[in-house]
């Protein structure tokens, strides 16, 4: 690549799109300095104007227990009470959407924002799934965001203990058959979270596990639950270890014996030991390395690069920052064959348009329009129903209809009147702006 292509490549892969002035700043700083700044953004404050906008979304600071107490439907609710609670809960989810877009557009820590998008999709939670509406914002803010460039083991543990994940994948219903307390009417061994924890979050589909491993991991995680009407949380985190629902027997996971125990401390230790085993497993290192190489280099990443990243992952105990540094230093990342060969997801496409137009701190109306545009292209934020998240490869999004919609969106965005907010749709998420081929919204 020549100098201009190198800058384009870096902005394409390490940011959500180039804003006016980004190319000049990168030229002045140099590629190496830019990469180091992006990899080491932790502790660097956000722009004050962005901080002020985020602080105005006060619900983002509510801990899970407070969110439950304020927004959950009452116990044994009527249909009317359920609908009223849902509408209140959607307000919390909409705050999460606004915060994500504000950071994506205004934060100079663009690699951080790219990785938040990557990891949320990897540890996906469906934001419309009951109580997940009120916990998704906190989940991203405390379980994903602080660890996006940190330790994979810490990231795994934070997601495993968050009430949004435990509720979404039904581990709050995962109760040992020999439980010392009456079971929930839907209780019993529930393998949902255990299966996705192995298959999606750590080892991968071809990670060498068995059905017995899934079953034993589910037994290990019995009692890992979240705050509910009849299940208070000991702190404001919303995580609950219900010892009376835990299976205290010894289990075998991936050939390793996980010692059981009858008290709460031993039961929690079982789950932590299982997470340790999964986080440090070579199959996990390869699975995560493949996904990172696929995300930053090519849909079918070079085997040599995946092996290099896998080795680095194991050497550094899953230090995401150091694994990415190795990736960005690799010959494969800079291979001209991969230049401008990625077809971006709808989320990244809309963000790239907004950033190119200089939308730094959009109004609520403009944010609503952007969220609607992302939804129109098939990727509504926080609304992927399946635990494997939205497809991150271009082949899933590349089709004639999608191309017409993208062209239409680009034309519509370029013609948005800056001084006429009435032109933007006012309702969300019930309706979205109608961005159809060859039409303006």
Whether residue 329 sits in one domain with residue 366: no
Write down which residue in 323, 340, 357 finishes a domain.
340
Q: Which pLDDT belongs to residue 429?
A: 37
Whether residue 385 sits in one domain with residue 400: yes
Whether residue 412 sits in one domain with residue 379: yes
Evaluate whether residue 318 is within a structural domain: yes
Q: Which pLDDT belongs to residue 184?
A: 57
DSSP assignment letter at 231: B
Whether residue 410 sits in one domain with residue 288: no
Evaluate whether residue 250 is within a structural domain: yes
The number of folded domains in the chain is 2
Whether residue 223 sits in one domain with residue 320: yes
| Segments forming the whole domain that contains residue 374 | 346-423
258 SS3 class: strand
For the record, the structure tokens of 251 come out as 């289990």
Whether residue 320 sits in one domain with residue 199: yes
Whether residue 387 sits in one domain with residue 311: no
CA distance 8 to 22: 10
pTM, rounded to two decimals:
0.93
For the record, the structure tokens of 141 come out as 């803010």
* DSSP β-bridge partners for residue 232: none
Sites in the chain below the pLDDT cut of 70: 180-187, 416-441
Query: Which among 116, 149, 152, 117 has a CA at the least distance from the CA of 36?
Result: 149
Query: Which among 354, 349, 382, 324 has a CA at the least distance from the CA of 95?
Result: 382
Evaluate whether residue 196 is within a structural domain: yes
Write down which residue in 313, 340, 367 finishes a domain.
340
Evaluate whether residue 314 is within a structural domain: yes
Q: Which pLDDT belongs to residue 181?
A: 64
Evaluate whether residue 43 is within a structural domain: no
Q: Which pLDDT belongs to residue 175?
A: 93
Q: Which pLDDT belongs to residue 424?
A: 39
Evaluate whether residue 203 is within a structural domain: yes
Q: Which pLDDT belongs to residue 422?
A: 40
Whether residue 320 sits in one domain with residue 362: no
Task: Determine whether 67 is exposed, middle or buried from the number of CB atoms within 10 Å of its CB (0-12, 13-18, 19+).
Answer: buried
Whether residue 206 sits in one domain with residue 312: yes
Whether residue 416 sits in one domain with residue 372: yes
Whether residue 190 sits in one domain with residue 326: yes
Q: What are phi and psi of 421, to 5 degrees?
A: -60, -20
Write down which residue in 310, 340, 370 finishes a domain.
340
Whether residue 366 sits in one domain with residue 274: no
Evaluate whether residue 225 is within a structural domain: yes
Evaluate whether residue 278 is within a structural domain: yes
CA distance 29 to 427: 42
């Amino acid at each position: 690549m020549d100098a201009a292509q190198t800058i384009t490549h870096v902005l394409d892969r390490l940011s959500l799109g180039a804003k006016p002035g980004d190319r000049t700043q990168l030229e002045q700083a140099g590629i190496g300095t830019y990469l180091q700044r992006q990899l080491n953004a932790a502790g660097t404050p956000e722009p004050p104007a962005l901080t002020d906008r985020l602080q105005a979304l006060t619900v983002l600071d509510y801990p899970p227990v407070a969110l439950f107490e304020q927004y959950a439907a009452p116990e044994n609710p009527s249909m009317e009470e359920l609908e009223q609670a849902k509408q209140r809960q959607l307000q919390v989810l909409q705050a999460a959407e606004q915060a994500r877009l504000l950071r994506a557009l205004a934060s100079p820590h663009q690699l951080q924002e790219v990785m938040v998008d990557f990891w949320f999709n990897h540890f996906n939670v469906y934001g419309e799934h009951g109580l997940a509406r009120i916990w998704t914002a906190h989940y991203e803010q405390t379980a994903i965001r602080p660890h996006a460039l940190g330790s994979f083991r810490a990231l795994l543990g934070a997601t495993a203990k968050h009430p949004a994940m435990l509720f979404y994948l039904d581990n709050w219903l995962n109760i040992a058959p020999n439980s010392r307390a009456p079971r929930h009417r839907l209780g019993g061994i529930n393998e949902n979270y255990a299966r996705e924890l192995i298959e999606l979050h750590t080892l991968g589909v071809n990670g060498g596990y068995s059905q017995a491993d899934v079953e034993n991991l589910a037994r290990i995680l019995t009692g890992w639950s979240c705050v509910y009407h009849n299940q208070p949380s000991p702190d404001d985190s919303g995580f609950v270890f219900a010892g009376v629902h835990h299976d205290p027997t010894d289990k075998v996971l991936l050939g390793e014996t996980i010692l059981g125990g009858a008290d709460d401390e031993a039961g929690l230790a079982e789950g932590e030991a299982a997470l340790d085993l999964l986080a440090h497993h070579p199959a996990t290192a390869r699975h995560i390395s493949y996904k990172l190489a696929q995300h930053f280099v090519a849909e079918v990443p070079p085997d040599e690069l995946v092996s290099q990243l896998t080795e680095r992952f194991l050497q550094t105990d899953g230090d995401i920052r150091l694994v990415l540094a190795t990736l960005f230093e690799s010959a494969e990342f800079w291979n001209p064959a991969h230049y401008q060969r990625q077809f971006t997801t709808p989320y990244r496409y809309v963000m790239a348009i907004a950033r190119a137009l200089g939308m730094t701190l959009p109004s609520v109306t403009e944010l609503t329009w952007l969220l609607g545009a992302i939804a129109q292209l098939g990727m509504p934020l926080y609304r992927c129903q399946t635990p494997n998240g939205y497809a991150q490869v271009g082949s899933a999004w590349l089709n004639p209809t999608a191309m017409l919609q993208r062209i239409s969106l680009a034309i519509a965005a370029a013609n948005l009147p800056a001084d006429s907010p009435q032109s933007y749709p006012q309702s969300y998420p019930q309706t979205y702006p109608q961005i159809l081929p060859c039409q303006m919204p």
